[in-house]
Amino acid sequence: MKLVDNKATLTFSNGSPSVELPVYGGSIGPDVIDIRKLYAQTGMFTYDPGFLSTASCQSAITYIDGDKGELLYRGYPIEQLATHCDYLDVCFLLLNGELPDEKQRTDFHKLVTNHTMVNEQMQFFLRGFRRDAHPMAVLTGLVGGLSAFYHDSTDINNPQHREIAAIRLIAKMPTLVAMAYKYGVGQPYMYPRNELSYAGNFLRMMFGVPCEDYKVNPVLERALDRIFILHADHEQNASTSTVRLCGSSGTNPFAAIAAGVACLWGPAHGGANEACLNMLEDIQRNGGVAKVGEFMEKVKDKNSGVKLMGFGHRVYKNYDPRAKLMQETCNEVLEELGLGNDPLFKLAKQLEKIALEDDYFVQRKLYPNVDFYSGIVQRAIGIPVNLFTGIFALARTVGWIAQLNEMISDPEYKIGRPRQLFTGSPRRDVPGVKK
């Protein structure tokens, strides 16, 4: 962190002495006021529920400019990465800071590919779940369960353990997600095939069956790879902050990532793609495009509790750049599968058109986020709606690990421990206790 030629002065109207606070600058983006010594100097905390103005760490991984609608992984624009790299290149970049050269690329692909199988015992663990369990419930358990199988990579303070855990998690997530799916539909698990790409292998583990060969469709393979790239990291969002906070206690990497999976499940975060598709299906059932206007009135009515899922973002106050790329992929996939007239896609386009022109959305700067179109793409590929968030977790695993490892290597890292403004009862005695 660099001190900038600026200082903040905090003054109090009650006459308490004012304090000077250092200001640090990053490479781009807003400067930060360092309040670490504030409590020692004033006896006061800051109050910022939801972290609206608080940087919880320094990070060199992902940068978002929400007003411009810009997303950079290690400095590279998401649009360039999505069109010129594959997901494993992006994983290498997020973990190591640079894109791989040719040799590094070959070695990294080989390394990940060689860890795709999971301990055979995992499937017996999986059998403990009901067949109709939500895949995110299953995944939270399976990812946390990895720490019970891979004892040689659970010491978060050991850089080698962290490196092996990273590769294992990236390599095994597709296998676990596909196993959770196969278990739910009662089909045999498909073991990974090392000659396939990361996305191709996942498609085969999901949709292949042992009784016949599976041919990977290159359009769907590319689409899935793009979904993975677009979801790979997104700086200090709820699940990433959860992983950092969980890992800050020194817990093992598998447990910290399982915490991220659990957090991602919520409909305000990774669960939004599932919620968005359910919303589109609901509107379609109730009259489709003709009922869009009526639905939008409900969205704008604060008492209805209805939100336009897939719209709005804490950081983006402009088009989410990932949504544009996802819309492109959506067109490609629907065309490839002959679903150009898909009613849900038409419905989504109509909702988007109305929302982008409506005062309610314009004034609040609400634009489509990545989840608005990713659900339609996944549904077209054949992925069941309740597995959408699992796919997101698979893709985000690398971001969580990169952020966790960055935190552990940061000499300024401490266990996370927020403070509070206490509003409960002051000390009192239980009735009958003699003073």
Binding site for ligand ACO (CB under 6 A): 268-270, 272, 299, 307-314, 364, 366, 369-371
CB of 45 to ligand ACO, least distance (A): 22
Closer to ligand ACO by CB, 247 or 310: give it.
310
CB of 346 to ligand ACO, least distance (A): 20
Closer to ligand ACO by CB, 165 or 402: give it.
402
Q: Which residue is nearest to ligand ACO (CB)?
A: 312
Closer to ligand ACO by CB, 165 or 275: give it.
275
CB of 266 to ligand ACO, least distance (A): 9
Closer to ligand ACO by CB, 134 or 269: give it.
269
CB of 279 to ligand ACO, least distance (A): 10
Closer to ligand ACO by CB, 60 or 268: give it.
268
Closer to ligand ACO by CB, 181 or 361: give it.
361
Residues 206, 210, 211, 217: what is their CA dihedral angle, to the nearest 10 degrees? 40
Take residue 293 and report the two structure tokens written for it: 């206007």
Catalytic site includes residue 410: no
- For the chain, the three-class secondary structure string (H helix, E strand, C coil) is CEEEEEEEEECCCCCCCCEEEEEEECCCCCCEECCCCHHHHHCCCCCCHHHCCCCCCCCCCEEEECCCCEEEECCEEHHHHHHHCCHHHHHHHHHHCCCCCHHHHHHHHHHHHCCCCCCCCHHHHHCCCCCCCCHHHHHHHHHHHHHHCCHHHCCCCCHHHHHHHHHHHHHHHHHHHHHHHHHHHCCCCCCCCCCCCHHHHHHHHHHCCCCCCCCCCHHHHHHHHHHHHHCCCCCCCHHHHHHHHHHCCCCCHHHHHHHHHHHHCCCCCCCHHHHHHHHHHHHHHCCHHHHHHHHHHHHHCCCCCCCCCCECCCCCCCCCHHHHHHHHHHHHHHHHCCCCCCHHHHHHHHHHHHHHHCHHHHHCCCCECCHHHHHHHHHHHCCCHHHHHHHHHHHHHHHHHHHHHHHHHCCCCCCCCCCCCCCCCCCCCCCCCCC
From CA 121, how far away is CA 127, in angstroms rounded? Answer: 10
From CA 10, how far away is CA 285, in angstroms rounded? Answer: 56
CB of 271 to ligand ACO, least distance (A): 8
CB of 37 to ligand ACO, least distance (A): 30
Catalytic site includes residue 313: yes
* Alpha carbon distance, N-terminus to C-terminus of the chain: 53
From CA 203, how far away is CA 181, in angstroms rounded? Answer: 12
Closer to ligand ACO by CB, 336 or 358: give it.
358
Closer to ligand ACO by CB, 200 or 310: give it.
310
Q: What are phi and psi of 347, to 5 degrees?
A: -65, -45
**Catalytic one of 86, 233, 320, 371:** 371
Amino acid identity of 30? P
CB of 252 to ligand ACO, least distance (A): 26
Closer to ligand ACO by CB, 295 or 311: give it.
311
- Residues 6+ away with beta carbon under 8 Å from 257: 143, 169, 243, 397, 400, 401, 404
CB of 319 to ligand ACO, least distance (A): 13
**Catalytic one of 234, 269, 313, 320:** 313
Active site residues: 313, 371
